[in-house]
Structure formats: structure tokens, C-alpha cells
């Protein structure tokens, strides 16, 4: 490093330290969002330049001359050596999704500080390390999938365990994400109309790109975007015309059933008709909105209204149950570390990397970007008034449905708010009410509307921006639901096919219909359970989703650790061991607390016991209205407890297998890893 | 603008378009054609329309177990 470069990095470090100091130490007065941005960007640059470089050069020993799968199997289709900037965009678009937007919004109930610190520390030491290591492993194994790698490196039993884990997460993710959409659209004719319009728009796009102008992605996306904008603007008219509004003013249970039915239809239709065009539209909208939001935050640089730390760090918060440890780390999920990315980093990206030195830019760099999206979500959630934030994110079971009562309850928590503020905020964004819109998306939309309208359009356009933000999230969540149902169907067919071989044939229409129906039934159950939950569903289910996601990350990092041992690089294995231990401690504690905590707000069994006892005594407890609902709640508690317990058990089993294999690798003086290509020592090789 | 500057702008535009297309699962067609012509000159290659359809089906193919844009 030249003297000038050293000076530059020292300046970045000082600037980052000052910004981080201001973020962490300011109390009592609002701080500006710009400090958050500066602090995180400095942290990212330093981590990327020093830590990530250390990992690729020292820990992995990447070799610029080593042939990558893109060259070895070059077919111009799946395996193509691709420019690194192009591939970065592809990889980022594949990992970015609803998780980093929702998690930080929910975490904001404890103030902006705890969440921000975990987003930064988590991404640098866990999330980005996981993404990059899995990408590295997959690149050295011809772009194999995570499940495949677990099987070859750890054996068939852990492989099967990982497979079951992936299926379970898939189902929970689909259920919980669909719940986010339902909560955002219930009783909102404007939002429902706009999102419903995406179906005919996608059909038009599908036909256009199939028959009229085949393969013209640009033209068709432009067409879709114009139609979407028209639907967004016309949505206001729909919501203000009672005759029209009544068709789109739907209750949460109705919406849930519609989405389940839609997921089924979308997953069995030909992909070019509905799924693909919507995917194109949502991908471009997602990337465009993220860039726009980043620009708006820099231009507007609003003040944060939320306190640095609120009293809810003790676990008594209304948004989700549980204390700072372990539940904050579970809640933030994808913005800091996401097990999902290990599936993507072992998907199409490793098949297109030009050379191994680019793994840092694509694997680590894209995850840093994702983390920045999480920081933006945190900013959007904390620029709105804390009273409004809690009104939006607390279930109706806590604050009621009347603004006067809700304002009273929230003010009693120490966040002074008037009923007028709640109704005015709703009116500003063109909604009947904003209370108990749990799930993060509406909160994010209000925050984004306030930032974006400050950037463009003022209060006049706040309604448009709000519904634009809702549309943007709903669109890509629903695309995930379509695509995810197809993936689930495949996994179910694969799993059930072990018992009934005929079920494995994916060309069979009967199998497709049965498989899709099963997949929809499974995630639909989670969704419907959440919709009926008087606490808003998210309160109960988001921690379960977070646990599942972190569990997958722990599995992926265990694999990374084992491979480092097998490569005889155990000296450096701490880079993956440290985050693995942290994730295992978090997921297992969270899993056990969710099952066994004596506090009915946290523990599923304690909750079931409380309701079971009341049932035996013949009384109906507050959220439930009938004895039947009471029975439903108890049943759901047992299902959730089983899932949480299973997650903890899966993680522990994987770790035990991991330790066994690490010890075995230590005892062998040679590298025993299953890499493909030159550089593999004798005695090892691809099986 | 000088010649190199326009060239650079054109390259950036090209890369942006390639990125957007790859984001939705369609790699560069010209690269594919060049690859086929160089390595399999005796075999036919797909037209752009066929190429687009093949890539679209592959992106959502059941069995590949791909899952994107979740978190």
C-alpha cells in the first residue's frame, strides 16, 4: 500500500469512527440519518478492503489462474464467463428481497441503535462471510448446490437433514411473507386494486413477449411499467368511488384465501404467461426503488424520530415478543445474515464467475449492499413518529381499533401521540386507517412516502408514494410466493417420491396438481393461522421465520467450517467458527425459549397451557371469541412449538456432525476435500 | 466528445443492459452465438427467440430447486 492509500484509509476509519460515535452516543436529541449512512458506508469499505481481502487471500487462498466452472463447462447458457459488474448486479438482484426490508422495521421497536449495530457487525463477520464462503466452495465444485455440498462433504444423513430444513424454511417463509402482503392490503381498496392489476398486466406482458415481439424484455417491461403506473394513479379514484371500492375492500381472511388460490394457479400455469413477466417487472421495480430510496435518503437526509434505545429492550415490546438476546438477532434476519443466500450463492452465480479473485466483489460486496438496504429500512422506520410507528405495528388485541383508545395506550407506554396524528397520517397516505398494520411493509411504506415525498412531490404525492411502496413490496413478495410454491412442490415431490416413486415424475399433471396443492396447503396453513391471530400474526410468526433463516445460515457456516478443516486451513477456520457459534447460540436459545419459556408471551407451551386451562375452566380468554377459537389457538401453539423445537434440534445435529468431521480432518495429514479441477491432492476428488 | 469517451459510454450502456437482462435470467445472446460458432461450428444454434424461451423455461424449471429474492 502506498503512503497516500494508507492516509486515505486512515481518513475513512476516522470518519467512520466519528459517525459511529455520534450514532451510538447521542441521547435525547434526534440525530440525522446521514450519520447512519456515513457510519455504515465507512464500515463496509473497511471490511471489504481489509477483512474480505484477508479471507480470500489468506483463508481461501484463491488462485486467479485456476479454471472456474464458467470456463470448464462453458455452454453460453448456464455456464458463461461473465463480466464481474454484470454478475454483481445479477447476484444482488437474486439475494435482495423482503427480508432486509421487514426485519429492521420490526427491530426498530427497541430503538435504532441495537438493530443498526447488529446489521453492521452481523454483515461484516457473519452474513457476508457466509455468502462469500459458500460462493467460493460452490465455485470450486462446479457450481453445486448447498444440499449437494453438504451431502458430499458431510455425508448422506446431514444432507437429508439440510434438505428437510430447507423445505421447512421454504414453507414458513412463504406463509410469513404472504402474511406481510395480507396485512398491508386488508381494508385498503387502493392497494388491493393496484396489486390485483399486476395480474392482467403480467398476462399482457406475457403474451407480448411470447407472440407479438418475442423476447423483447425491454419493450415488455416498459409496457408493464407504464400500465402499472396507470393502475397506481387510478387506484386513488377506485378507493374514492364507493361502488368500485367495495370490490377491493377485502378482509384479511378473504385476502389470505385469494392469495393461496392464486399461488396454486400461478404455480401450475405455464411460466411465460404469468410468473416470468411478473418476475421481470418486480425485479426491475425492486432494483429501481432501492436506488431511488438511496438517492432520496442522501438528498433529504431526514432526522430520526425514534430514540436510540427504547424501554422495550427488556422484551415487553408490542411488535414482537422476546428480549434483546436472542430475539433481536433473530428478528433482523436477512440484513445481517441470511441462510437463504447460501442457496443463491450455490445456484447460478458460481457458474458465471470469471476467476476466483472476483468472489470477494460478488459474494462479500453484494451482501454489503444488501445490508445497506437493511440500514435504509431502519432509517425509513425511524423517521416516522414513534407513536405512529407503534400504532401501526401493534396488534388490535393490544391497542384496540379506536384511535382515541389506541393513542391512550401508546401514550401510556411513553410515546406521546394524539388520536389526530393517527387519523391524519392515514388520511395523508389515502387510507382509512393505519392502525395494526403489522408486518413491516406498511410502516416502511409510510417511512418511504415521507422520505420520497420530501424528495419529489411533497405532501400531494404522499398517497401515491405510500401505495407505490406497498406495490413494490407486494409485487416481489407475490413473485416469491409463485416461484417458491414451484420449488416447494419439487421438494415435496422429491421427498414423498422416496416412499412413492411414481410421485417423482415432474411431467405428470396429476403429480403437479397434487404437489402444488400440498405446497399451498402447507404455507397456506401458516398464513391463515397468522391472519386469524388477534395479536397480528407477525408477533408470533416472525420470530419463527427468523429462527428458521438463522438456522439455515448456521448449517451453511458449519459446512464452510468443515471444508476449511478438510482443506487443512484449520488455522484460519475461526472466520467461520465464530459466526457459527454465535448463530447456533442464538437459534438454539431462541428455539428453546419459544418452546419452554414460562412466559406465555414468549413460550408456545406456556401459552397453550394458559389457554388449555381456561378451556377446562370453561372461560374464553381475551383474543379468542369462541371455544372453537380457543381450541384453534392451543392447536397452533403446539404446531409452532414443534417447529421451533425441530429447528433447534436440526442445528444441534448438524453441529455434532460438523465437529465429528472436523476432528476426522484434523487426524488426516492430507487435504480431504471434494474439489473439482487442478489443485486437488491425491486421494481426494469428486465422487 | 472524443472517440474513446463515446466508446466508454457505449460500453457502460451495454453493460447496464446486460446486467438488467441477466437479472431476469437471460444471459448475453451474442456471447452464446460466438461460443457456438467458435466451439461447435458444424452444429446449428438457437435463434434469439428460441434462446429466450429456453432461458425462460430454465429459470423456472422444476427440478433445479432455484429460489430467489426472498431475503
Task: For residue range A257-304, list pLDDT tens digits in order.
Answer: 999 999 999 888 898 999 999 999 999 999 999 999 999 999 999 999
Residues of A with Cβ-Cβ distance to B17 under 8 angstroms? 218
Buried-exposed string A516-552: b where 16+ CB fall within 10 A, e elsewhere: bbebbebbbebbbbbbbbbbbbbbbbbbbbbbbbbbb
Question: Measured between beta carbons, which residues in chain A are less than 8 angstroms from residue B27?
Answer: 76-77, 80, 82, 352
Of all helices (H) and strands (E), which one includes residue A202?
helix A189-207
Nearest-Cα distance to chain B for A236, in Å, is: 29
CB contact under 8 A, B67 and A484: yes
How close does chain B come to A511, measured CA to CA in Å? Answer: 12
Asked if A83's CB is within 8 angstroms of B70's CB, the reply is: no
Are the beta carbons of A440 and A101 closer than 8 angstroms? yes
Residues in chain A, pLDDT under 50: 680-687
Tell me if residue A440 falls in helix, strand or coil.
Answer: coil
Closest CA to A488 of A516, A524, A513: A516
CA distance A579 to chain B (A): 19
pLDDT digits (tens, 9 = 90+) for A158-212: 998 888 888 888 899 899 999 999 999 999 999 999 999 999 999 999 999 999 9
**Strand partners for A32:** A303
Residue in A closest to B59 by C-alpha: A276
User: Would you place residue B66 in the very low, low, confident or very high pLDDT band (cuts 50, 70, 90)?
Assistant: low
Residue tagged 424501554 (cell numbers): A311
How high is the ipTM of this complex? Answer: 0.93
Q: What pLDDT is attached to residue A685?
A: 34
Tell me, what's the pLDDT at A168? 87
Q: What was the pLDDT predicted at A682?
A: 36
Instruction: Please write the tens of the pLDDT for every residue from A468-477.
Output: 999 999 998 9
* Residues B2-47: tens digit of each pLDDT: 778 999 999 999 999 999 999 999 999 999 999 999 999 999 999 9
> Quick one: which of A322, A321, A327 has its CA closest to A398?
A321
C-alpha closest to that of A349 among A364, A363, A367, A365 = A363
The residues that bridge with A303 in the sheet, in sequence order, are A32
Q: Which three cell numbers stand for residue A21?
A: 460515535
Looking at the partner chain, which of B22, B57, B63 has a beta carbon nearest the beta carbon of A90?
A: B22
Task: Give contacts of A217 with chain B, Cβ < 8 Å.
Answer: 20-21, 24, 26
Q: Residue A38 — φ and ψ, nearest 5°?
A: -60, -45
The number of angstroms, rounded, from the C-alpha of A343 to the middle of its chain's C-alpha atoms is 13
Question: CA A541 to CA A545: how far, in whole Å?
Answer: 6
Q: Taking CA atoms, what residue in B is nearest to A79?
A: B27
pLDDT of residue A677: 76
Whole-structure pTM value: 0.95
Residue of A72, A74, A85, A86 to mutate when probing chain B, most B C-beta within 10 A:
A86
Report the C-alpha dihedral over residues B17, B19, B22, B26, rounded to 10 degrees. Answer: 20
User: A180 CA to chain B: closest CA distance, Å?
Assistant: 13
Residues of B in contact with A82 (CB under 8 A): 22, 27
pLDDT of residue B1: 57
CB contact under 8 A, B57 and A271: yes
Considering CB atoms only, which of B19, B62, B66 is closest to A90?
B19
pLDDT computed for residue A647 by the predictor: 92
Amino acid at each position: 500500500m502506498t503512503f497516500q492509500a494508507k492516509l486515505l484509509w486512515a481518513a475513512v476509519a476516522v470518519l467512520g469512527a466519528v459517525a459511529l460515535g455520534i450514532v451510538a452516543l447521542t441521547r435525547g436529541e434526534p440525530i440525522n440519518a446521514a450519520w447512519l449512512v456515513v457510519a455504515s458506508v465507512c464500515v463496509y469499505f473497511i471490511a471489504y478492503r481489509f477483512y474480505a481481502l484477508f479471507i480470500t487471500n489468506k483463508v481461501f487462498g484463491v488462485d486467479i489462474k485456476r479454471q472456474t466452472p464458467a470456463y470448464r463447462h462453458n455452454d453460453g447458457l448456464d455456464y458463461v464467463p461473465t463480466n464481474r459488474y454484470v454478475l454483481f448486479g445479477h447476484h444482488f438482484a437474486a439475494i435482495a428481497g423482503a427480508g432486509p426490508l421487514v426485519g429492521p422495521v420490526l427491530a426498530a421497536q427497541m430503538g435504532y441503535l441495537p438493530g443498526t449495530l447488529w446489521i453492521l457487525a452481523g454483515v461484516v463477520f457473519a452474513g457476508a462471510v457466509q455468502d462469500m464462503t459458500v460462493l467460493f466452495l460452490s465455485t470450486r465444485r462446479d457450481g453445486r448446490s448447498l444440499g449437494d455440498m453438504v451431502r458430499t462433504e458431510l455425508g448422506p444423513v446431514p444432507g437429508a437433514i439440510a434438505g428437510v430444513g430447507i423445505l421447512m424454511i421454504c414453507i414458513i417463509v412463504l406463509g410469513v411473507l404472504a402474511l406481510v402482503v395480507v396485512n398491508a392490503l386488508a381494508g385498503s381498496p387502493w392497494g388491493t386494486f393496484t396489486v390485483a392489476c399486476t395480474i392482467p398486466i403480467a398476462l399482457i406482458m406475457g403474451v407480448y413477449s411470447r407472440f407479438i415481439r418475442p423476447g423483447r424484455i425491454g419493450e415488455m417491461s416498459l409496457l408493464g411499467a407504464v400500465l402499472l403506473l396507470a393502475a397506481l394513479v387510478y387506484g386513488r379514484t377506485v378507493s374514492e368511488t364507493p361502488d368500485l371500492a367495495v370490490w377491493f375492500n377485502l378482509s384479511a381472511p378473504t385476502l389470505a384465501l385469494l392469495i393461496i388460490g392464486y399461488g396454486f394457479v400461478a404455480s401450475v400455469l405455464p411460466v411465460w404467461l404469468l410468473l416470468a413477466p411478473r418476475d421481470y417487472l418486480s425485479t426491475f421495480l425492486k432494483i429501481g426503488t432501492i436506488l431511488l430510496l438511496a438517492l432520496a435518503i442522501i438528498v433529504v437526509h431526514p432526522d430520526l424520530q425514534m430514540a436510540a434505545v427504547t424501554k422495550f429492550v427488556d422484551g415487553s415490546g408490542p411488535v414482537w415478543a422476546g428480549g434483546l438476546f436472542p430475539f433481536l438477532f433473530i428478528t433482523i434476519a436477512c440484513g445481517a445474515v441470511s441462510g437463504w443466500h447460501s442457496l443463491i450463492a450455490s445456484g447460478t452465480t458460481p457458474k458465471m464467475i470469471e476467476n476466483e479473485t472476483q468472489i470477494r466483489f460478488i459474494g462479500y460486496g453484494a451482501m454489503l449492499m444488501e445490508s445497506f438496504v437493511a440500514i435504509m429500512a431502519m432509517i425509513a422506520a425511524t423517521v416516522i413518529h414513534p407513536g405512529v410507528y407503534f400504532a401501526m405495528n401493534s396488534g388490535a388485541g393490544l391497542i384496540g381499533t379506536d384511535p382515541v383508545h389506541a393513542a391512550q395506550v401508546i401514550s401510556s407506554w411513553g410515546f406521546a401521540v394524539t388520536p389526530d396524528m393517527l387519523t391524519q397520517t392515514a388520511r395523508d397516505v389515502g387510507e382509512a386507517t393505519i392502525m395494526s398494520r403489522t408486518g413491516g411493509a406498511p410502516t416502511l411504506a409510510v417511512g418511504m412516502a415521507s422520505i420520497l415525498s420530501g424528495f419529489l412531490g411533497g405532501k400531494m404525492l404522499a398517497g401515491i408514494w405510500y401505495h407505490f411502496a406497498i406495490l413494490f413490496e407486494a409485487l416481489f413478495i407475490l413473485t416469491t410466493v409463485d416461484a417458491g410454491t414451484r420449488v416447494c412442490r419439487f421438494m415435496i415431490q422429491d421427498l414423498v417420491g422416496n416412499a412413492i416413486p411414481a410421485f417423482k415424475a415432474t411431467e405428470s399433471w396429476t403429480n403437479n396438481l397434487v404437489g402444488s396443492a400440498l405446497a399451498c396447503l402447507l404455507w397456506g396453513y401458516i398464513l391463515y393461522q397468522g391472519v386469524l391471530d388477534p395479536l397480528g400474526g407477525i408477533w408470533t410468526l416472525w420470530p419463527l421465520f427468523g429462527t428458521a433463516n438463522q438456522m439455515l445460515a448456521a448449517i451453511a457456516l458449519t459446512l464452510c467450517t468443515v471444508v476449511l478443516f478438510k482443506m487443512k486451513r484449520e488455522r484460519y477456520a475461526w472466520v467461520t467458527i465464530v459466526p457459527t457459534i454465535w448463530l447456533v447460540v442464538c437459534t438454539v436459545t431462541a428455539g428453546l425459549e419459544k418452546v419452554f419459556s414460562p412466559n406465555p408471551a414468549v413460550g408456545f407451551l406456556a401459552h397453550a397451557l394458559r389457554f388449555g386451562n381456561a378451556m377446562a375452566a370453561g372461560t374464553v380468554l381475551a383474543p379468542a371469541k369462541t371455544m372453537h377459537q380457543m381450541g384453534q389457538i392451543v392447536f397452533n401453539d403446539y404446531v409452532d412449538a414443534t417447529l421451533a423445537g425441530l429447528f433447534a434440534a436440526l442445528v444441534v445435529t448438524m453441529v455434532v456432525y460438523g465437529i465429528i468431521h472436523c476432528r476426522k480432518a484434523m487426524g488426516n495429514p492430507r487435504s480431504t476435500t471434494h474439489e473439482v479441477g487442478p489443485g486437488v491432492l491425491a486421494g481426494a476428488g469428486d465422487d | 466528445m472524443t472517440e474513446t469517451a463515446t466508446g466508454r459510454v457505449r460500453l457502460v450502456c451495454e453493460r447496464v443492459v446486460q446486467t438488467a437482462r441477466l437479472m431476469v435470467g437471460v444471459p448475453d445472446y451474442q456471447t452464446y452465438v460466438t461460443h457456438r460458432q467458435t466451439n461447435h461450428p458444424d452444429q446449428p444454434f438457437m435463434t434469439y427467440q428460441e434462446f429466450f424461451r429456453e432461458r425462460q423455461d430454465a429459470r423456472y424449471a422444476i427440478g433445479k430447486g432455484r429460489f430467489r429474492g426472498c431475503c
